[in-house]
């Protein structure tokens, strides 16, 4: 991570108010403190959550700084905490601390940042669009799926065109010699089949692959319980009774949970990277603004001195 100039920039764009919980708690993205005369900080006051404001010219550590946001002038108390961090000490702290104590969402933060001040920065898309993107590279309903054991099984629904998540469907699986879709890696006895329906919606089916030596396959039900997100269905054997089947069922649930969490972790990391990139861009922009303002200040000073000399 390259070092950032200026004062500590909180992830939510606010001035450091010593909140205990911050997305930067891992430390890897903490900006380094560099000594500069003028610090430009973007802050989001609690009264106007989505409106960035700028704190300028915090030259003396302890003083009142003027925050201008959307045409409004606010005055906040700002102090330096000895470690180079600006600390806001006004009465809003309790409220802000309450808000910041909640775990942040990179997506929310980034979307706030992009909508508030940088229209050019792409928002992190909502899940709907992500799902749509995924389904666009999927195929239609496969008749054959390959299990984690390299086994190919045929899914022969009573009416594949009506294989929807509405209501219950019974499908049968039979061994077949053709492969079509590779299933997720699963422990012995289970597999997760991912496919796309004719209407483009993505489906995950957790399927136990306990095919008897005689090739006999029992019937499974595909159901879409309300607890599962759209596009995810569970395949459960009909009439689970034995402890072994219960164990298999819980193993399947666990695998599905792990798979989802794996995906969630990937997404989370991707969002985090995007968020850090966004912050770096903002830092670069603000540094540039800072330079411009310094130059402007210099020229105004010179102009003023020149005028004073001539008078």
CB distance 12 to 19 below 8 Å: no
Placement of tokens 């919980």 in the chain = 21
Work out the number of other CB atoms within 10 angstroms of the CB of residue 289: 14
Q: Which is nearer to DNA, 197 or 206 (CB)?
A: 206
Per-residue contact string for residues 168-207; x = within reach of DNA by CB under 7 A: ----------------------------------------
Options 60, 161, 226, 241; binder of DNA; rule CB under 7 A? 226
Query: What gap in Å lies between CA 71 and CA 68, rounded to an integer?
Result: 6
Options 7, 39, 96, 107; binder of DNA; rule CB under 7 A? 107
Among 25-33, 86-94, 157-165, 208-216, which window interacts with DNA (CB under 7 A)? 25-33
CB distance 53 to 88 below 8 Å: no
Q: Is 32 in the site for DNA (CB under 7 A)?
A: no
Q: Which is nearer to DNA, 198 or 229 (CB)?
A: 229
Q: Is 306 in the site for DNA (CB under 7 A)?
A: no
Q: Which is nearer to DNA, 85 or 97 (CB)?
A: 97
Find the shortest distance in angstroms from Cβ 116 to DNA.
17
Residue 213 CA to chain centroid, in angstroms? 46
User: How many chain residues touch DNA (CB under 7 A)?
Assistant: 32
Find the shortest distance in angstroms from Cβ 75 to DNA.
30
Work out the number of other CB atoms within 10 angstroms of the CB of residue 112: 18
Q: Is 300 in the site for DNA (CB under 7 A)?
A: no
Sign of CA dihedral 130, 131, 133, 134: positive
Burial of 53 (0-12, 13-18, 19+ CB in 10 A): buried
Q: Which is nearer to DNA, 100 or 145 (CB)?
A: 100
Q: Which is nearer to DNA, 26 or 60 (CB)?
A: 26
Beta-bridge partner residues of 152: 146
Query: What gap in Å lies between CA 31 and CA 29, rounded to an integer?
Result: 6
Q: Is 268 in the site for DNA (CB under 7 A)?
A: yes
Q: Is 267 in the site for DNA (CB under 7 A)?
A: yes
CB distance 197 to 230 below 8 Å: no
Query: What gap in Å lies between CA 290 and CA 229, rounded to an integer?
Result: 47
Options 103, 119, 307, 308; binder of DNA; rule CB under 7 A? 103
Contact residues: DNA, CB under 7 A: 23, 25-26, 28, 101-108, 127, 225-229, 257-262, 264-269, 271-272
């Amino acid at each position: 991570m390259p070092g950032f100039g200026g004062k500590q920039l909180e992830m939510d764009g606010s001035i450091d108010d010593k909140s205990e919980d911050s997305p930067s708690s891992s430390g890897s993205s903490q900006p380094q403190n560099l000594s500069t005369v003028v610090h430009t900080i973007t802050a989001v006051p609690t009264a106007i959550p989505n409106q960035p404001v700028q704190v300028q010219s915090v030259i003396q550590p302890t003083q009142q700084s003027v925050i201008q946001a959307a045409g409004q002038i606010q005055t906040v108390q700002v102090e330096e905490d000895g470690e180079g961090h600006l600390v806001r000490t006004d009465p809003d702290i309790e409220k802000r601390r309450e808000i910041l104590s909640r775990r942040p969402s990179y997506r929310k933060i980034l979307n706030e940042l992009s909508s508030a001040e940088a229209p050019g920065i792409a928002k992190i898309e909502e899940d709907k669009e992500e799902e749509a993107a995924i389904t666009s590279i999927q195929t239609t309903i496969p008749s054959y799926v390959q299990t984690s054991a390299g086994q190919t099984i045929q899914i022969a629904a009573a009416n594949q065109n009506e294989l929807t998540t509405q209501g219950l469907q019974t499908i049968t699986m039979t061994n077949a010699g053709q492969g079509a879709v590779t299933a997720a890696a699963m422990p012995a006895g289970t597999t997760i089949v991912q496919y796309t329906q004719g209407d483009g919606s993505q489906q995950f089916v957790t399927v136990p692959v306990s095919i008897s030596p005689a090739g006999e396959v029992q019937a499974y039900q595909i159901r879409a319980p309300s607890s599962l997100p759209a596009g995810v269905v569970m395949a459960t054997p009909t009439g689970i009774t034995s402890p072994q089947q219960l164990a298999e069922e819980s193993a399947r649930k666990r695998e599905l949970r792990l798979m989802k969490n794996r995906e969630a972790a990937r997404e989370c990391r991707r969002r985090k990277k995007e968020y850090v990139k966004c912050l770096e861009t903002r830092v670069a922009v603000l540094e540039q603004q800072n330079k411009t303002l310094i130059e402007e200040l210099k020229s105004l000073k010179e102009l003023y001195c020149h005028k004073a000399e001539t008078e």
